């Protein structure tokens, strides 16, 4: 991504969020001293980025009450995944969703389980071995790139992850490159609009904020579902004519 031309500098300062594609990478993010203790003090389009959930807290991802709170089975059903599809579960954690997606894509499909913490990938690998699941492939990503093959993914799923990306713009650029034309990106985020959802503020996102941040990416919004008790399911796709 090229930096803005000098003549566009002041425009980018005032209209940066709208002109996301040409905002100088140096000014894309804002840093504030006063910020939420659960955030990293780095802001993107007015939103504070949350701290990454460390692998030490991985048990929380496997809590018994999770199915009742998040209805993962219902989520997977609503995604209407087909046999043979290639899915990227980005920020895979312990593989809570990957293990449910694996039988849906079957032996001719595969799930790339991407994470930036090698310890999470070790937990994922152990869990898949325990369940004799062989079509989940662990991938070590970086904070700017999930390291996925270009134009190869039917569905990129991020459950409770996107708000933690330290470089959301760069991550989404790379994710879009990895999508097949017409491929989907699904954000599952705790609803910021609902004060009754008992999750820390920087770990929630509003639908409007997700849409604002995706407006600078080569994606089109498809639908938002509120079928889950606490989370939005926000679906975008890469336009079919884009390579």
Ligand X SMILES: C[S@@+](CC[C@H](N)C(=O)[O-])C[C@H]1O[C@@H](n2cnc3c(N)ncnc32)[C@H](O)[C@@H]1O
Which residues form the interface with ligand X (CB under 6 A)?
Answer: 52-53, 61, 90-93, 96, 114-117, 120, 141, 143, 146, 159-161, 164-165, 171
Minimum distance of ligand X from residue 51's CB (angstroms): 10
Rounded least distance, CB 222 to ligand X, Å: 21
Please, which residue, 87 or 116, has the CB nearer to ligand X?
116
**Residue 173: its H or E element:** helix 168-178
Q: Which is nearer to ligand X, 67 or 220 (CB)?
A: 67
> In the beta sheet, which residues pair with residue 30?
43
* Cβ–Cβ under 8 Å, residues 189 and 76: no
Name the minimum Å distance from CB 240 to ligand X.
Answer: 26
Q: CB of residue 47 vs ligand X: minimum separation in angstroms?
A: 15
Q: Identify whether the C-beta of residue 136 lies closer than 8 Å to the C-beta of residue 164.
A: no
* HSE-CB of 141 using CA atoms within 13 angstroms: 29
What is d(CA 31, CA 27) in angstroms, rounded to the nearest whole number?
Answer: 10
**CB closer to ligand X out of 91 and 183:** 91
Measured from the CB atom, is 59 or 223 closer to ligand X? 59
Residue 146 Cβ vs ligand X, minimum distance, rounded to whole Å: 6
> Quick one: 4 or 105, whose CB is closer to ligand X?
105
Q: What is the DSSP string of 5-48?
A: PGGGHHHHHHHTTTTGGGS-TTTSSEE-SS--TTEEEEEETTEE
- The angle at the Cα of 56, spanning 52 to 59, to the nearest 5 degrees, equals 100
Letter string b/e over residues 102-137, b meaning 16 or more CB atoms within 10 A of that residue's CB: bebbeeebbbbbbbbbeebbebbeebbeeeebebbb
To ligand X, the closest distance from the beta carbon of 232 in angstroms equals 14
Nearer to ligand X, 12 or 110 (CB): 110
């Amino acid at each position: 991504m090229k930096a803005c031309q000098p003549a566009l500098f002041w425009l980018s300062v005032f209209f940066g969020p709208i002109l996301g594609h040409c905002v100088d990478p140096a000014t894309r993010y804002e840093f504030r001293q006063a910020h939420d203790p659960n955030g990293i003090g780095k802001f993107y389009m007015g939103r504070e980025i949350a701290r990454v959930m460390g692998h030490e807290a991985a048990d929380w991802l496997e809590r018994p009450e999770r199915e009742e709170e998040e209805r993962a089975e219902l989520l997977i059903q609503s995604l209407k995944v087909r046999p043979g599809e290639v899915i990227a579960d980005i920020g895979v954690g312990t593989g809570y969703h990957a293990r449910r997606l694996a039988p849906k894509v079957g032996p001719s499909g595969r799930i790339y389980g991407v994470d930036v913490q090698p310890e999470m990938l070790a937990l994922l690998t152990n869990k898949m071995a325990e369940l004799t699941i062989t079509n989940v492939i662990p991938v070590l990503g970086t904070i700017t790139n999930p390291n996925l093959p270009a134009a190869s993914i039917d569905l990129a799923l991020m459950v409770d992850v996107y708000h933690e990306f330290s470089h959301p713009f760069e991550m989404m650029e790379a994710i879009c490159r990895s999508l097949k034309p017409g491929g989907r990106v699904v954000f599952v985020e705790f609803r910021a609009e609902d004060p009754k959802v008992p999750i820390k503020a920087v770990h929630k996102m509003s639908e409007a904020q997700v849409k604002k941040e995706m407006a600078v990416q080569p994606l089109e919004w498809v639908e938002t579902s509120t079928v889950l008790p606490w989370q939005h399911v926000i679906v975008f796709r890469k336009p079919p004519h884009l390579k």
